[in-house]
Amino acid sequence: MTDSAKHLLLVEDETALRVAVAEQLADAGYQVDQADTGEAALARLAEFAYDILVTDLHLPGVDGAAVVQDALQRYPDIVAVVVTGYGTVKTAVDIIRRGAWDFVNKPFQIDELLHTLNAALEQRRLKSENAYLRAQLDERYRFDGLIGRSPVMKRLFHLLETITGTNSTVLITGETGTGKEIVARAIHHNGPRRAQRFVALNCSAIPETLLEAELFGHVRGAFTGAVVNRQGRFEQAHRGTLFLDEVGTMSVALQTKLLRALQEREFERVGDSHTIKVDVRVIAATNSDLARMVADGQFREDLYYRLNVIPVRLPALRERREDIPLLAQHFLDKFRAHTPVTISQTAMRHLMNYLWPGNVRQLENAIEHAVAFGSSRGQIDLADLPPELAGDNVEPAPGAVTLPEHGVDIEVVIGNLERELIQRALERTGGNKGQAARLLNLKRTTLVEKLKRMH
Ligand X SMILES: Nc1ncnc2c1ncn2[C@@H]1O[C@H](COP(=O)(O)OP(=O)(O)OP(=O)(O)O)[C@@H](O)[C@H]1O
Binding-site ranges for ligand X (CB under 6 A): 145-148, 174, 176-182, 287, 360-361, 364
- CA-nearest of 131, 124, 121 to 6 is 121
CB of residue 231 vs ligand X: minimum separation in angstroms? 25
Give 236 or 288: the residue with its C-beta nearer to ligand X: 288
By CB under 5 A, residue 181 contacts Mg ion: yes
Of 147 and 389, the one with the shorter C-beta distance to ligand X is: 147
| Amino acid found at 173 | T
Burial string for 266-291 (b: 16+ CB within 10 Å, else e) reads: ebbbbebeeebebebbbbbbbbeebe
Q: Are 310 and 163 in contact (CB under 8 A)?
A: yes
Q: How far is the CB of 49 from Mg ion (least distance, A)?
A: 51
Find the shortest distance in angstroms from Cβ 155 to ligand X.
13
Q: Which does 21 bind (CB under 5 to 8 A by kind): ligand X, Mg ion, none?
A: none
Closest approach, Cβ 148 to Mg ion, in A, equals 17
Do the beta carbons of residue 352 and residue 325 sit within 8 Å?
yes
Question: Is the CB of residue 42 less than 8 Å from the CB of residue 12?
Answer: no
Q: Which does 176 bind (CB under 5 to 8 A by kind): ligand X, Mg ion, none?
A: ligand X
Interacting partner of 247 out of Mg ion, ligand X, none (Cβ under 5 to 8 A depending on kind): none
- Please name the amino acid found at residue 134: R
How many Å apart are CA 330 and CA 142, to the nearest integer?
11
Residue 305 Cβ, how far from Mg ion at the closest point, in Å? 23
Q: Binding partner of residue 104 among Mg ion, ligand X, none, CB under 5 to 8 Å per kind?
A: none
CB 101, CB 76: distance < 8 Å: no
Minimum distance, C-beta of residue 331 to ligand X, in the bound complex (Å):
8
Whether residue 171 contacts residue 285, with contact meaning beta carbons closer than 8 Å, is answered with yes
Residue 147 contact, options Mg ion, ligand X, none, Cβ 5-8 Å cut-off depending on partner type: ligand X
**Selected range binding Mg ion among 53-61, 175-183, 345-353, 438-446, rule: CB under 5 A:** 175-183
- From the list 50-58, 152-160, 180-188, 443-451, the region that binds Mg ion by CB under 5 A is 180-188
Residue with smaller CB distance to ligand X, 160 or 451: 160
* CB-closest chain residue to Mg ion: 181
Minimum Å gap between C-beta 300 and ligand X is 22
**Using an 8 Å Cβ cutoff, are 41 and 50 in contact?**
no
Distance CA 281, CA 115 (A): 56
CB of 434 to Mg ion, least distance (A): 52
Nearer to Mg ion, 180 or 320 (CB): 180
The DSSP result for 184-201, as a single string, is HHHHHHTSTTTTS-EEEE
Tell me the C-alpha distance between 242 and 238, whole Å: 8
Which one of ligand X, Mg ion, none interacts with residue 315, CB within 5 to 8 A by kind? none
Which lies closer to ligand X via its Cβ, residue 146 or residue 282? 146
* CA nearest to 164, candidates 141, 180, 137, 185: 185
Identify residue 171 by its one-letter amino acid code.
L
Q: For ligand X, which is the closer residue by CB, 38 or 177?
A: 177
How many residues are given for the chain? Answer: 455
Select from Mg ion, ligand X, none the partner in contact with residue 242, using the beta carbon and a kind-dependent cut-off of 5 to 8 Å: none
Least distance between ligand X and beta carbon 302 (Å): 25
In whole angstroms, give the CA distance from residue 223 to residue 301. Answer: 30
Q: Residue 60 or residue 311: which is nearer to ligand X going by CB?
A: 311
User: Considering CB distances under 5 to 8 angstroms, the limit depending on partner class, which of Mg ion, ligand X, none binds residue 211?
Assistant: none
394-404 burial by CB neighbour count: b if 16+ within 10 A, else e?
bbbebeeeeee
Query: Measured at CB, which residue is nearest to ligand X?
Result: 179
Q: Give the distance, in angstroms, between the CA of residue 65 and the centroid of all CA atoms in the same chain.
A: 31
Query: 161 or 301, CB closer to ligand X?
Result: 161
Of the two residues 11 and 327, which places its CB atom closer to ligand X in the complex?
327
The answer to the question of residue 272 lying near Mg ion (CB under 5 A) is: no
DSSP assignment of 123-134, as one string? HHHHHHHHHHHH
Residues in a beta bridge with 197:
none
> Rounded to an integer, what distance in angstroms lies between the CA atom of residue 278 and that of residue 263?
11
Asked if the bond preceding 387 is cis, omega within 30° of 0, the reply is no
Kindly tell me which of 12 and 364 has the beta carbon lying closer to ligand X.
Answer: 364
Binding segment for Mg ion among 34-42, 179-187, 294-302, 336-344 (CB under 5 A)? 179-187
Instruction: Tell the smallest beta-carbon distance from residue 256 to ligand X (Å).
Output: 25
**Which parts of this chain interact with Mg ion (CB under 5 A)?**
180-181
